[in-house]
């Protein structure tokens, strides 16, 4: 399992961000080029479109110990593939509505729209989400018991 504490014992969340290639990943690049910082806890996975994000990926991340998962896509109406982000929105709404039932706090997930021109917004979104997840604390509800066993 990942190490989630700093040397002084502070909680460091593990956050997985799925970013679409055309808007949000470019927005993240722009945040970088503009030197707009956000916590190193956020690790980005590039996908062609937010509609490529299978709900399975999110559950897998939580299962493997992620504390928060964020999905970023183009603003509604701006999808490079016309309708991909609408699919993502619907799928995520459905998935999120079932998370509590699955044993994951609903608040650990979020969908945000960030365009390629919104470096500032990308950094703000990530700062806010990381702060929010830090406050929520470690994701203990869904643990892969097999992993735990092998550690013992």
Decide if residue 22 touches other proteins (CB under 8 A): yes
Nearest residue to 5 (alpha-carbon basis) of 122, 100, 98, 137 = 137
Query: Using the rule CB under 8 A, which residue among 52, 89, 106, 107 binds other proteins?
Result: 52
Of 25-33, 98-106, 128-136, which segment contacts other proteins by CB under 8 A? 25-33
Query: Contacts with other proteins: how many residues (CB under 8 A)?
Result: 52
Long-range own/partner contacts, residues 77-80 (CB < 8 A, 24 or more apart): 78/23, 78/115, 79/22, 79/49, 79/50, 80/20, 80/21, 80/22, 80/23, 80/49
Residues that bind other proteins (CB under 8 A): 2, 14, 16, 21-22, 25-26, 28-29, 31-33, 35-38, 40, 43-49, 51-57, 60-61, 64-66, 74-75, 77-84, 87, 91, 115-117, 123
């Amino acid at each position: 399992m990942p190490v989630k504490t700093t040397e002084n014992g502070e909680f460091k969340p593990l956050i997985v961000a799925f970013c679409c290639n055309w808007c949000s990943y470019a927005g993240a690049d722009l945040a970088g080029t503009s030197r707009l910082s956000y916590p190193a806890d956020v690790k980005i996975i590039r996908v062609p479109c937010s509609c490529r994000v299978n709900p399975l990926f999110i559950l897998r991340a939580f299962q493997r110990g992620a504390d928060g998962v964020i999905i970023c896509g183009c603003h509604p109406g701006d999808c490079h593939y016309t309708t991909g982000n609408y699919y993502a929105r619907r799928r995520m709404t459905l998935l999120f509505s079932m998370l509590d039932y699955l044993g994951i706090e609903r608040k650990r997930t979020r969908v945000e729209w960030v365009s390629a021109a919104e470096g500032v917004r990308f950094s703000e979104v990530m700062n806010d989400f990381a702060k929010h997840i830090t406050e929520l604390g470690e994701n203990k509800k869904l643990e892969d018991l097999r992993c735990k066993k092998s550690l013992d």
